[in-house]
Structure 1
Amino acid sequence: MESQNSESVCQLLNFDITIRGSAAPYSVTASYRQRTAEGAFALDLTQEAWQEQCRRLGQVDEAPGTAFIRHVGSQIFQDLFRDQVRDLWIRARSDLETGQAEGVRLRLALYPPAVAALPWESLYDPDRNMAFGASGRTPLVRVENLFQHVGPSREIQASLPLHLLLAAPEDPTGLMAAQAEIQLVRQMAERLGPAQMQVTTLEGRFGILELHQALQTHRPDILYVASHGEPDGILLWQQDVPHLATSESLRVTLERATSVKLVFLNACLAGQGSAQARFTSVGSQLLQAGVPAVIAMQYPIPDEVAVDFARHLFDELLNGPCPGAIDMAVAGARSTLYMLAPHTFSYGTPILWLNAEDGRILRLPRGSVGSASTARPSMARPHPAPVHLDLSQEEAWLAELVAGLDLTRLPGQLRFIARSWEESVEECRSLLYQLRHLEQQGDEPRYAAKVSQYRAHQQRMERLRSSLEDAIRGHGG
């Protein structure tokens, strides 16, 4: 019964946006539930204002700030969602808010290179005060739906433990702490447990041929690359000399590595596209290789933040409400980063390219997931999943959770986390209200699905609370 409930929570509806054209204004086609809308889009990266805004988003030493990120995302939203397209989006949003849809997957097919190069992961709805990239119910993905560009995705059947190949070449600049990142990734796998993930490491002065051999020998499900990156390549070695392995050579390597279902590139700029030509970034080229999903960074990102994103990502992928669904896992990981640091663009730096209709890149054996979790419950709460929840008991649990956390003890520079916590609490209250309404209506299927959604939100709240407690303790609170 519980797996059926989880499946219903994972049945997201697609809101497809396709942008075409050779110059602004570009043509827009939106589709949702067999309805379509036409529109226009006038923004692209050839415009000086957008070049400057993207430069600010990519700054690591000086965070752009929440207000600026929202300003950038609002511009894209307001230019895209106009007239017919806005009307269609309002319909989708209404379905989401009334429970007619458990989630809406925003799928972006962006054909003009200068449009694709915009920071779509910053998309922000000012009417609802919602960052798409940080919302677990509106995952945002980039797709390529022309068969002439991307062929069929490969087989997604997998078994536990998942095998991750960590490729971490020696850093000739000394700027990257390769051993520290290797240790962080291993700790991430240890948290998940050996029954869920095992890590094989390729390190030192290796090149593209050694990477190819490792992929053929170990046949991993996931390839994690930690290196320096450029939009058109990844830094490896060749004949004991640093060498940029081009996106084309990496693509050929991954075409033959048919076991790989996800590539995670922790290499700055490997996801940054060109404003002049399509399929030039490493990330987009690997999607063409047939990999079901590719995650790459469009801006510089601190190594520890990238690893933290990966930890939340794999936890959600294996133990979240939708096991095997990479779009939901990315949405969950983005949401966590946003809660902790909305003033940085870390949550929007990873780009997800998806070559899977429903977001599922792993089809795991039934009953094989959900047995372990990285969550650290902060207090006992009712976990059994009865047919009907005792909503009074759940409301009491929420009241106790809120009362037991003193946000005034947060240091000043971390007060922004309080707002994320408050929004999470309000979402929980909204879910309880919806559950009470569905219970009164006697709508059993939607009630059961909403229970699964509520349970998943409880787990995220506990993880956030744990992070808040760590922040308070870490600053002597």
Structure 2
Amino acid sequence: MEYDEFEVLLERSGDGYTARVVDSPTGPVPAMPFVPPEPVGGLPAVRLGVRGERRLKPGTPAPPSPKEFGADLFRALFNEKALAILRTSQYVAAKRQRGLRLRIRFADATALANLPWELLYDPERHWYPCQLSRFPTLRFVDLPEPVLPLQVTGPLRMLVVISSPVDLPPLEVEREWTLLRDELDPLVRSGRLELERLPVASLEDVRETLMHRDFHIFHYIGHGGSDEDTGEGHLAFTGPDGRQRRVSGSQLGVMLSNSPIRLAVLNSCEGGHVSDVDPYASTAIALVEQGIPAVVAMQFQITDTAATAFSRTLYDAVTAGRPVDLAVTLARQAVLAASEAEWATPVLYLRAVDGVLFDLAAPPEPAAAAAPGPHAGAAVPVSPVPVAVAAPPPGPAPPAQPRHVRAEVVDGVVNLMWQQPPVHGVPVRAWEVWRNGVRHAIVTLPMALDDTPGPGEYHYSVVALGDDEMRSGHSHTCTTYVTKPLRRASAPAATPPPRTAPVPVRQAPPPPVQHVRKKSRAGWILVVLLAVALVGWLLLRPGNEPIGADGRTGDSSQNVNPPPSDGPSVAETGTDLVLTRDPPGTGGGSGETTLRYSIYNAGPRSAENVSIDVRVKGEGTVITATLEPPGGAASKICAIVTDQHATCFAPAQEVHGTATLSILLYSQDPPPSLTVRVVSEASDSNPDDNVDTFQLPTP
């Protein structure tokens, strides 16, 4: 699955903090105050709830559940503007058949990294985003150096370090190794993973091992903590005397960054805990800062059941080439199934933008070993044995037969409507369209292609994009006919053939006159049928329909005349939602124009995930946009994406419910001719049918 990015930047501002949406499919949101929730009993009480422990003294107030704390954290992070952008981004990503990746970046607000952001809970949708594969949540470390996937041929190699110094609570080292090895044994036997355990968990042994062999994954099991004075995070390796040697994340990062390691997993007590002093003080962030593209750490203590379920699913997904953020989400789901309370314990720190760590190639086939002869050491003549030669790879499959695709041009865009998409054996999510050797677009059905040529017949090469493979090798050529062109294309004048000197040849007898008449009669019949079809189209097209008594027109994409003074006009959208417009008014004589829309759900069912898009063309600026839900509730401020673009979002709208959209525009006084385009669509509606475009009258 491909993802759109939704990035929130948390920064320190005076004595408090601000949150700012810096990247989303629908644009940024200015900085807004952020006040973190303060649960009763503090974060330790929440951590106990995550582990399923609820030990309370008599008379102690009950701490919030993880869901309650996650909902408070969600409301604090997403105010009305940010929530509107989030909802619109979720809707846009769903329309594109893509996921939405939530990236939280902390800048200098290091204390906020201690919050369990994995507990974010959407109280309106009733879900934890980080439990969903289409909405992974991660902590993003923005560094200037790009991270490219490492090309790997053969299995991924993992270095396992299990440290149990004698001066710390002992770990069952052999049991930990057995659990990990048994859980990953299917991956080892399938040739996707190799495990190697370091005999002595010392930093010197790690350095020497990485010098002589390449590894791709580093897995640490042991103790961790942070310095009380400096707040610097460390891991407890084993020293020469068997006692602990505190190794900082920066020290370990230097060792690991000189190797091909792309993923580090820290299964320690406090490996994911971040200090309030230095943004790179924690072990996990220090490793990322030193060049490790992805680090998974445990922000709470984790049980063996949860740890084994997490490791098994994580490495299964990573060795299959999946993005690491998706792999962590799948692993959280496995923990949720095995141990309901601990799914929020793992934390992902990432600096790879798309989450792809490895570019995996198929492992080479192992060479067959020669069996020894019956008399070892005797000189026995060996007859030549024919060597099996691999058959050449099969040639490309014959191209699929061209399919005729109906298309129409609306506002300079050709829409291709498939009656039935071709079946390629992979789940088709999108199409890659090529014309004349140039990629045109990556689109979903129905297709929309820009830069439309004139009316006529066109040939496109359409390649299906799969779900996991993202691109299949199947392609075909489709012939497109434009049935509703906006402009007529003048046919090029035919060039007369050059004159040649007559050559005396024997003339063949002319064809029978009756045969010529048959062809001529067929041509005239075709011309008459085309003329009748053209006249019928001109008479029945939606733009020629007068506004009836109920004010309805047949096509909302046509221009709607200014409504009469005695009532509003209604534009039929062809789906559930009907847009009506009140007469525009002018306020204050300061070049401000107020437009009000009534967004009415005509039924026959309730609408969900209603997205409203406002775009202005001309010398006009959107100052504010507000949406008043049905029932007269308080108005919600819409998101101003640009000076001429605003978006609104309503989670649901009951049947026969009416919401009011108010748009305040600023333009010259008197206002020039402006084009205001309002698109309102539900999650199950056709966006091409929900357009009300009209011209503001010039006084």
When normalised by structure 2's length, the TM-score is 0.48
1:187 aligns with 2:182: yes
Structure 2 portions without partners, runs of 5+ = 57-61, 227-232, 365-416, 431-464, 470-699
Letter paired with 1:130: W
1:16 aligns with 2:16: no
1:82-139 deviation line (CA, Å, top 9, x unaligned): 122111101122234x442321111111120111211101111111111112111111
Q: CA deviation at 1:168?
A: 0.9
2:429 to 421, 428, 449: 449
1:40 aligns with 2:32: yes
Letter paired with 1:187: D
Tell me which residue corresponds to 1:282: 283
1:248 aligns with 2:250: yes
1:163 aligns with 2:161: no
- 2:277, 2:125 → 1: CA distance? 34
- 1:300, 1:358 → 2: CA distance? 29
Letter paired with 1:222: I
- C-alpha spacing 1:211/1:136, structure 2 compared with 1 (3 Å): same
- Which structure has the bigger radius of gyration? 2
- 1:190, 1:234 → 2: CA distance? 27
SS at match of 1:448: coil
**Superposed counterparts of 1:110-129, under 5 Å:** 110-111=106-107, 112-129=109-126
8 A contact 1:313–1:330 mirrored in 2: yes
Task: For CA contacts below 8 A with separation 6 or more, give which structure has more relative contact order.
Answer: 1
- 2:283, 2:247 → 1: CA distance? 10
1:203 aligns with 2:195: no
- C-alpha spacing 1:316/1:190, structure 2 compared with 1 (3 Å): same
Tell me which residue corresponds to 2:308: 307
- C-alpha spacing 1:157/1:34, structure 2 compared with 1 (3 Å): farther
- 2:39, 2:65 → 1: CA distance? 18
1:233 aligns with 2:231: no
1:351 to 319, 341, 347: 347
8 A contact 2:50–2:66 mirrored in 1: no
8 A contact 2:133–2:329 mirrored in 1: yes
8 A contact 1:301–1:349 mirrored in 2: yes
Question: Percent of pairs identical after alignment?
Answer: 22
- C-alpha spacing 1:288/1:25, structure 2 compared with 1 (3 Å): closer
- C-alpha spacing 1:235/1:196, structure 2 compared with 1 (3 Å): same
Higher mean C-alpha displacement, 190-199 vs 352-361 = 190-199
8 A contact 1:156–1:361 mirrored in 2: yes
8 A contact 2:163–2:223 mirrored in 1: no
Letter paired with 1:35: G
When normalised by structure 1's length, the TM-score is 0.69
**Superposed counterparts of 1:414-433, under 5 Å:** none
Tell me which residue corresponds to 2:79: 82
SS at match of 1:136: coil
Q: CA deviation at 1:19?
A: 1.3
Aligned residues: 367
Tell me which residue corresponds to 1:137: 134
Tell me which residue corresponds to 1:373: none
SS at match of 1:364: strand
Letter paired with 1:31: D
1:340-395 deviation line (CA, Å, top 9, x unaligned): 433x1x21111111111111011112699xxxxxxxxxxxxxxxxxxxxxxxxxxx
8 A contact 1:152–1:290 mirrored in 2: no
Q: CA deviation at 1:307?
A: 2.5
**Superposed counterparts of 1:291-330, under 5 Å:** 291-319=292-320, 323-330=321-328
- 1:54, 1:21 → 2: CA distance? 24
8 A contact 1:143–1:355 mirrored in 2: yes
Q: CA deviation at 1:268?
A: 1.3
- 1:454, 1:158 → 2: CA distance? 19
- 1:127, 1:45 → 2: CA distance? 18
SS at match of 1:124: coil
- 2:278, 2:43 → 1: CA distance? 16
Tell me which residue corresponds to 1:270: 271
- C-alpha spacing 1:442/1:34, structure 2 compared with 1 (3 Å): same
Q: CA deviation at 1:176?
A: 2.1
- 2:99, 2:22 → 1: CA distance? 17
- 1:63, 1:339 → 2: CA distance? 24
8 A contact 1:13–1:101 mirrored in 2: no
Q: CA deviation at 1:16?
A: 1.1
- C-alpha spacing 1:63/1:197, structure 2 compared with 1 (3 Å): farther
Q: CA deviation at 1:274?
A: 1.5
8 A contact 1:45–1:114 mirrored in 2: no
- 2:285, 2:17 → 1: CA distance? 24
- 2:286, 2:156 → 1: CA distance? 24
Tell me which residue corresponds to 1:94: 91
- 1:86, 1:141 → 2: CA distance? 18
Tell me which residue corresponds to 1:31: 23
- C-alpha spacing 1:63/1:211, structure 2 compared with 1 (3 Å): farther
8 A contact 2:37–2:69 mirrored in 1: no
1:336 to 334, 337, 340: 334
- 2:322, 2:9 → 1: CA distance? 26
8 A contact 2:157–2:217 mirrored in 1: yes
Higher mean C-alpha displacement, 444-453 vs 235-244 = 444-453
SS at match of 2:98: coil
Tell me which residue corresponds to 1:221: 216
- C-alpha spacing 1:145/1:27, structure 2 compared with 1 (3 Å): same
Q: CA deviation at 1:251?
A: 2.0
8 A contact 1:46–1:114 mirrored in 2: no
- C-alpha spacing 1:252/1:105, structure 2 compared with 1 (3 Å): same
Q: CA deviation at 1:49?
A: 5.7
8 A contact 1:233–1:282 mirrored in 2: yes
SS at match of 1:187: helix
1:69 aligns with 2:61: no
